[in-house]
Chain A
Amino acid sequence: MQFAIYALMVISVVWAVCAVTLRSLFHSALCFTAVLLGIAGIFVVLHAEFLAAVQVLIYVGAVMTLVIFAVMLTERLTDVSVRANNQQIWIGLLGGVAFLTLLIKVILVTPWPKHPDAVAATVMTSENTKHIGIALLSQYVFPFEVLAVVLTAVIIGAVVIAKKDKPA
């Protein structure tokens, strides 16, 4: 079990490194998709199957499709290779490691809330989804509604941007 988690993490990190160092943008997008699938695998090993399925459905099915649409519509069909590294790689690495250390320290010290609805959603039963639904609509209803408003605003914004202008 531990071996599975570590193996999946290592594979995801390898794909993530590929995603930032490959020269072709389309290949980077595909490697990023592999990272997301690796994360879904970690969710499955941790008995959070609903989250894994939703991760694949939304991230890989929708978000990556959008990213790849953007890549395909803006990159020329003949392969233009982009220089992927420059002289500041060591300073960048130092900054990245410092940020990671800070993040890990903060995560380990935070008192995560333990509301009974939310805890019930982490229990490994077959009613996982039901508890997640109940928690979303009782304890976390305010973030849920805020998300709904944000998504509506996004859809309206997209429609406004994509609308054809009426001829004057």
Chain B
Amino acid sequence: MIDQLFVNIKQGGLQLLGGFLPEWAVILVSIMMSIGILAALGPLIMMYLTLMERKVVGRMQNRIGPNRVGKFGLLQPLADGIKMLTKEDIVPVNADKVVHFLAPILIVVPALLAFAVIPFGRNMTAVDLNIGVLFFLAVSSTGTLAIFMASWSSRNKYSLLGGMRAVAQMISYEVPMVMSVVPILVVTGTMSTHAIVEAQGGWGGFRWFLFTPWGFASAIIFFLCGVAETNRSPFDLPEAESEIIAGFHTEYSGMKFALFYMAEFMNTFTICALTATLFLGGWQGPLLPSWLWFFLKTYSLIFVMMWFRGTLPRFRVDQMMGLAWKFLLPFTFVNIGVAGVWYFAPRNTAAVVCTLILAVTFWILTKLNRIYTPEKRVYSFGD
């Protein structure tokens, strides 16, 4: 009963309205309710993610995060929001006004659109598309365009440099991300997120794809590529505060910067939610309501991302590109073959053979990717 609480509330409301509204109006209200809930949920999640990040990273750095505004700092995001709203909106004189204005708006759009295909619980997907996963991948690949717009229109060398790095990183990590989802499509035969979660229902709700050899490799690759896509540490070279000021959002202040920040955190949430859906069984689980399981899994993954931020140093740009193209991509190709073997071979031999193939590939790829330091620069006019 508590599992379907939100679904029942919505159905009850719609039946109430169906008493005195025509058919098409009820459909319209249903769509508007879904859109309204997602549009409110996105920023709300983002607000409390900023607080969680500051507290968690603060604790890892042996200090307490914000704790003055409200008990345990719970009203800090509201204070941050008010601060962002009241800041002066500075636009550089030479900036391309239209594109400069559009860029922060256009970066929030894909972040919000991706919420539409996430299964928050049993029967709680906003839009159950039969191309759910592909929709998410397509929409998240349009975010690179907004970063280009932001970096180009600022007329700033640091912005341009940061923007180029950001886009190079994002398109490099999109390819292993898409390829690491393919084994799931091979094994389940569908791209709908609802059906993928349903397929992980055995063993009392614990038969997740994470516990298969190809699923384990895919989950790690997808998660790493997701961390790189959202420009979070240790892949946050594009917005490396110590190197290029703030990268592509240097020239944005006030609410526009808040929109960039919001897009980054909403992307974090959707990547973790999608990893939980595809590999950790979505809302499957024995005792608790389905949406509670979903949020537990997603927030554990978000905690892991913040753990990465508090612990690991930043990548150098050539190390980052090398990781994507020379290691993750060949590994994903082998992974797809392994998923095919898993699908056709009987269970026990498949488990042993698949694990063996993946381990050998991992060893070969690490041996082939030697540690590489760039050659020292020769300054012809120095000395």
Contact = CB atoms under 8 A, between A and B. Distances in A.
A61 B138 contact: yes
Given A49-B129, A53-B135, A77-B160, A65 B99 contact: no
A128 B130 contact: yes
B141 A62 contact: yes
Nearest to B135: A53
B144 A61 contact: yes
A21 interface: no
Interface SS, B side: helix
A68 to B, nearest CB: 5
Nearest to A72: B152
Nearest to A49: B131
Contact of A57 (B96, B134, B189): B134
A56 B141 CA distance: 8
A104 B134 CA distance: 33
Interface SS, A side: helix
Interface in A55-110: 56-57, 60-62, 64-65, 68-69, 72, 77-79
Interface residues of B, number: 29
A78 to B, nearest CB: 8
A56 B138 contact: yes
Given A50-B131, A62-B171, A126-B130, A26 B152 contact: yes
Contacts of B189: 130
Given A64-B145, A130-B189, A50 B174 contact: no
Interface in B144-195: 144-145, 148-149, 152, 155, 157, 160, 164, 167, 171, 174, 178, 189, 191-192
Among B99, B141, B192: residue with most chain A CB under 10 A: B141
B142 interface: yes
A79 B95 CA distance: 10
A24 B153 CA distance: 12
Given A57-B141, A128-B130, A30 B99 contact: yes
Contact of B141 (A49, A50, A61): A61
A167 to B, nearest CB: 10
Interface in A21-62: 24, 26-27, 30, 33, 49-50, 53-54, 56-57, 60-62
A64 B149 CA distance: 12
B137 interface: yes
B353 interface: no
Contact of B148 (A49, A72, A129): A72
A65 B169 CA distance: 12
B191 A27 contact: no
A166 to B, nearest CB: 12
B131 A129 contact: yes
Interface of A: 24, 26-27, 30, 33, 49-50, 53-54, 56-57, 60-62, 64-65, 68-69, 72, 77-79, 126, 128-130
10 contacts: A26-B99, A27-B99, A53-B134, A53-B137, A56-B138, A57-B138, A61-B141, A62-B171, A65-B171, A68-B148
**10 closest residue pairs by CB, A with B:** A61-B141, A57-B138, A56-B138, A126-B130, A53-B134, A53-B138, A68-B148, A49-B131, A53-B131, A60-B142
Interface of B: 94, 96, 99, 129-131, 134-135, 137-139, 141-142, 144-145, 148-149, 152, 155, 157, 160, 164, 167, 171, 174, 178, 189, 191-192
